[in-house]
Amino acid sequence: MAPNATDDNTTAGEADDLRVGRRKAVRYVVPVTVVGIAAATIGLVPALADSGDPDLPKITAAQLLDKIAAADVEQLSGTVKITTDLGLPDLGGLESGLLSGATGGGDGSSADPSTRLTELASGTHTLRVAADGPDRQKLSLLENAAEYSVIHDGKDVWGYDSASNEVYHSTVDESADDGETPPATPKGLTEEALKAVDDTTSVTVDGTVHVAGRDAYRLVIKPKQSGSTVGAISVAVDAGTGLPLKFTLTPASGGAAVVDAGFTQVSFAKPAASTFDFTPPKGAKVTEADDAEAAPEGIGGSGDDFAKDFKGLEGLEGLEGSAGSEAPEGHEVIGEGWNSVAVFETGGAGVPSDSELNSELGSDAGGALSGFLGSFGDKVSGKFGSGTVFSTRLVNALVTDDGTVYVGAVTKDALVKAADSAK
Amino acid sequence: MSRADTAAVRPSAEAARGPNPLWTFGLLRSELVTTFRRWRTLALLAVLAAVPILVGIAVKIETGDGSSAGPGGGGEGGPAFIAQITNNGLFLVFTALAATLPFFLPMAIGVVAGDAIAGESSAGTLRYLLVAPAGRTRLLLTKYATVMAFCLVATLVVAVSALAVGALLFPLGDLTTISGTTIGFTDGLLRALLIALVVAASLTGVAALGLFVSTLTGSGIAAMATTVGLLITVQILDQIPQLHAIQPYLFSHYWLSFADLMRDPVYWDELEKNLGLQALYAAVFGSAAWARFTTKDITA
């Protein structure tokens, strides 16, 4: 600060009014300058940091895909920022109630991974990941003054919710674990996206980019067909290790990315061993997976489900639908590649009634919901009859009046066309 | 600006001007003594010390039958860390700071900072202070240093009171960080001290704002009311989702980031933003206060 740079002579007073007036004005220049410098710094620093993409040797898309496949990063720690904007209406508390309801009404423990990680389906979240070989991983969801951590250490899988001081514990057969990391990280998301790569997809390398202080290639995956709601998937692949560092899914309709997950900081050094040590704190409420009566399907007491729990999240992101090959068993898939549409026969009426919703969600929330749901949908009709289309920015669903559900990452028109062709 | 900075600035000013170097320290000492001997200041500190006592007793009563504190499921409601207090008294320090930081602490700072210049002015003592060969800049720096000292003392009063109550009512021992790792009690105490210092530093923005308001008016009450009013306004603005574009620039936005010190490893991003923002507010409103105070006519 500069106060002493100027002599604070306070007795000059009556001498010269003009001079005093000018000095008054000059002094106010100091705070104004400080504000100006701060504003310039805030505005310019990100712009300067962005300039200059790294200079890397040319590489073909196939080589880059091989690099991703060969990537064998055993040890890493870093911070991931994930932003999802599915264009769902902001339902606030109701949304989380619905999501936990949708996973089976699991009000067992707030430390249960499946109930907590569905939170990632909307908004911006900061995650911390750490891994040391296939047996030790940790994923933490940073919240205000609290944190939710999933720790995999050998045969133990712990979920710890510091806000409520609750612990969820399950065990995993060490041999059965293949070290699958949850797809909430750019790597997992990229793997899911690459499953969709076939002859309906164009894969290109589009220059280079800096991510989390590392040089990376930009891989762009685009559907060749029209009708998909997926505009492009862009993946920043670390030039050194082949690890995907940033995953961005932009919708065909334009606008903000639907999913944007990227490292803001990453280190390939071995994380401290204490990172993976977890002892339930004294007095914490521990829920064992086996004891969790209210546990949703899929939590069968095996830590393998740790990975499966995240599938719910993928489903929400429409990646399963778009991948086609991953469509759940017992459901028909029509169309191919990015335009594949999953068909479910519910056997019931179109938009579910109160009682159905009540029984499905296992709560009274259903009553208010049916009218509410109807208000979101658009009525459509075609050769298949008539029905209601529910739209998000990525996934559209058509519920016909005779109870058939068509879901896909395709536009409304393509969905109606698919339904027509199915009849 | 911290006290260390004023200390660094002072000697060069002395060399240039020539009054007795001890004079500034004398001025600072007399300011500190005057401030901390006021009944008003002592009452504020007593209120701050009472908050952890109330929280501790409430948690003790609630969990007397063995149930856990805080909401079981969502973790919403109640100050941060409240669920862990029963198992480790040290968490009462963090809970108490989280409970007092949004309002009690800045309000106390606002009262002291708002009173700093305007109070002297309304009591008619400001011109006598200026008769002494200290100069207005140095008087202002002394006042700001005093307010900063009060920030530190107020925060430490909350922390020490919470630690005492926590140690009396609850067990102490190794504590689990919010990331799930375990750290020793000494490490925990160090982190508690660090958190107290960060909380005190989080208040520098409010202190500078209060000092600036204090130079604008001749009425101590008006300056205090304006500072506390601004504080409440900013807190409300920080809650309105539609204003999220400006919220990162509100001085209270990153206040609760001190909890990031309880992560393992520590998550520095928001802490750095918080301290940077406080430094910016201190620079802007400190220099504005200087511009105003060194040029205004002192009539009382």
Q: Residues B112-153: pLDDT tens digits?
A: 999 899 988 888 888 888 887 778 888 999 999 999 999 999
Q: pLDDT higher for A115 or A235?
A: A235
Q: What is the pLDDT of residue A88?
A: 65
Nearest residue of A to residue B253, measured between CA atoms: A144
Identify whether residues A286 and A357 lie together within a single domain.
Answer: no
Report CB contact under 8 Å: B173, A282.
yes
Q: What is the pLDDT of residue A45?
A: 77
**Highest mean pLDDT: which range of A165-174, A234-243, B54-63, B140-149:** B140-149
Identify whether residues A77 and A206 lie together within a single domain.
Answer: yes
Render pLDDT for A6-32 as a digit per residue (tens, 0 to 9). Answer: 444 444 445 566 776 777 778 888 889
DSSP-derived 3-state class of residue A101: helix
Identify whether residues A106 and A209 lie together within a single domain.
Answer: yes
CATH code, domain with A368: 3.30.310
B71 close to A (CB below 8 A): yes
Q: What is the pLDDT of residue A364?
A: 52
CA–CA min distance B36, chain A (Å): 26
The closest alpha carbon to B86, from B58, B46, B120, belongs to B58
Q: For residue A408, is it within any domain?
A: yes
pLDDT at A314 > cutoff 50: no
Of A47-51, A270-274, B205-209, B210-214, the least confident: A47-51
Q: How many angstroms separate the CA atoms of B83 and B79, rounded?
A: 9
Angle between helix B269-293 and helix B185-202 axes, rounded to 10 deg: 40
Question: Using 50, 70 and 90 to split pLDDT, how confident is the model at B43?
Answer: very high
pLDDT at B37 > cutoff 60: yes
Boundary of a domain, candidates A249, A283, A317: A317
CATH code, domain with A284: 2.50.20.10
Identify whether residues A224 and A155 lie together within a single domain.
Answer: yes
Identify whether residues A292 and A347 lie together within a single domain.
Answer: no
pLDDT at A174 > cutoff 90: no
CA–CA min distance A377, chain B (Å): 26
pLDDT at B63 > cutoff 70: yes
CA–CA min distance A167, chain B (Å): 10
pTM over 0.90: no
Q: pLDDT higher for B299 or A55?
A: A55
- Stated as kind and residue range, the H or E segment containing B118 is helix B104-123
Name which of B295, B298, B299 to mutate to probe chain A: the one with the most chain A Cβ atoms within 10 A of its Cβ.
B295
Q: What is the pLDDT of residue A330?
A: 54
Render pLDDT for B252-281 as a digit per residue (tens, 0 to 9). Answer: 999 989 989 988 888 888 899 999 999 999
Interface of B with A in 96-125 (CB under 8 A): 98
Q: How many angstroms separate the CA atoms of A30 and B290, rounded?
A: 9
Q: What is the pLDDT of residue A184?
A: 63
B73 close to A (CB below 8 A): yes
Q: For residue A293, is it within any domain?
A: yes
A163 close to B (CB below 8 A): yes
Q: Which of A1, A145, A282 lies at the smallest CB-CB distance from B81? A: A145
Query: Could you tell me the residue range of the domain that residue A9 belongs to?
Result: 3-50
Identify whether residues A105 and A156 lie together within a single domain.
Answer: yes
Q: What is the pLDDT of residue A101?
A: 42
Write out chain B residues lying below 8 Å of A275, CB-based.
179, 181, 264-265
Q: For residue A56, is it within any domain?
A: no
Q: How many DSSP H helices and E strands does chain A contain?
A: 10, 18
Q: For residue A28, is it within any domain?
A: yes
Count: domains in chain A: 3
Average pLDDT, chain B: 85
Q: For residue A141, is it within any domain?
A: yes
Identify whether residues A101 and A138 lie together within a single domain.
Answer: yes
Pull the structure tokens for residue A59.
Answer: 């590489």
Q: How many angstroms separate the CA atoms of A320 and A314, rounded?
A: 6
Q: For residue A322, is it within any domain?
A: no
Render pLDDT for A281-299 as a digit per residue (tens, 0 to 9). Answer: 877 788 887 654 443 433 3
Report CB contact under 8 Å: A8, B294.
yes
Identify whether residues A39 and A152 lie together within a single domain.
Answer: no
B137 close to A (CB below 8 A): yes
Put the strands of the sheet holding A166-171 in their side by side order. Answer: A201-211, A214-223, A230-238, A244-251, A259-267, A75-84, A123-132, A136-143, A146-153, A156-161, A166-171, A285-288
Identify whether residues A234 and A340 lie together within a single domain.
Answer: no
The 8-class DSSP code of residue B190 comes to H
Report CB contact under 8 Å: B179, A110.
no
Write out chain B residues lying below 8 Å of A165, CB-based.
68, 70, 83-84, 87
Within 8 A by CB and 6+ apart from B20, the residues are: none
Question: Which residue's entry shows tokens 């469509």?
Answer: A327
A30 close to B (CB below 8 A): yes
Render pLDDT for A56-100 as a digit per residue (tens, 0 to 9). Answer: 888 888 888 888 888 778 888 889 998 888 776 554 444 444 444
CA–CA min distance A373, chain B (Å): 25
Structural contact between residues A159 and A172, judged by C-beta atoms closer than 8 angstroms: no
pLDDT at B165 > cutoff 90: yes
A285 close to B (CB below 8 A): yes
Mean pLDDT of A350-364: 51
Q: What is the pLDDT of residue A59?
A: 83
Mean pLDDT of B162-173: 92
Name which of A34, A119, A149 to mutate to probe chain B: the one with the most chain B Cβ atoms within 10 A of its Cβ.
A34
Q: Which residues are paired to A131 by β-bridges? A: A76, A137
Write out chain A residues lying below 8 Å of B267, CB-based.
79, 128, 142
Structural contact between residues A134 and A179, judged by C-beta atoms closer than 8 angstroms: yes
The closest alpha carbon to B73, from A95, A107, A115, A121, belongs to A107
A8 close to B (CB below 8 A): yes
Q: What is the pLDDT of residue B210?
A: 95
Q: What is the pLDDT of residue A346?
A: 67
pLDDT at A181 > cutoff 60: no
Q: pLDDT higher for A32 or A347?
A: A32
Identify whether residues A93 and A121 lie together within a single domain.
Answer: yes
Q: How many angstroms separate the CA atoms of A66 and A47, rounded?
A: 33
Write out chain B residues lying below 8 Å of A278, CB-based.
180-181
Report CB contact under 8 Å: A162, B84.
yes
Q: Alpha carbon of A349 to those of A75, A389, A399, B183: distances in Å?
A: 51, 14, 9, 57
Count CB neighbours of B85 within 10 A: 32
pLDDT at A337 > cutoff 70: yes
Count CB neighbours of A379 within 10 A: 10
Report CB contact under 8 Å: A35, B137.
no
Q: What is the pLDDT of residue B14?
A: 43
Nearest residue of A to residue B176, measured between CA atoms: A281
Report CB contact under 8 Å: B13, A4.
yes
Q: For residue A230, is it within any domain?
A: yes
Q: What is the pLDDT of residue B149?
A: 95
Q: pLDDT higher for B84 or A109?
A: B84
pLDDT at B68 > cutoff 60: no
Q: For residue A140, is it within any domain?
A: yes
Complex confidence, ipTM: 0.75
Percent of chain B with pLDDT strictly greater than 90: 51
Q: How many angstroms separate the CA atoms of B134 and B141, rounded?
A: 11
Q: Which of B75, B87, B136 lies at the smallest CB-CB distance from A110? A: B75
Mean pLDDT of A256-265: 87
Render pLDDT for B70-109 as a digit per residue (tens, 0 to 9). Answer: 444 334 456 778 888 888 889 999 999 999 998 899 999 9
Identify whether residues A313 and A333 lie together within a single domain.
Answer: no
Mean pLDDT of A249-263: 85
Boundary of a domain, candidates A287, A317, A347: A317
Q: What is the pLDDT of residue A52?
A: 67
Structural contact between residues A117 and A310, judged by C-beta atoms closer than 8 angstroms: yes
A46 close to B (CB below 8 A): no
Write out chain A residues lying below 8 Å of B84, CB-based.
162, 165, 281
Q: What is the pLDDT of residue A386?
A: 80
Report CB contact under 8 Å: B178, A285.
no
Count CB neighbours of B127 within 10 A: 12
Identify whether residues A182 and A257 lie together within a single domain.
Answer: yes
pLDDT at A310 > cutoff 60: no
Structural contact between residues A54 and A210, judged by C-beta atoms closer than 8 angstroms: yes
Q: What is the pLDDT of residue B77?
A: 53
Handedness of CA B170, B171, B177, B180 (dihedral sign): negative
Mean pLDDT of A111-128: 76
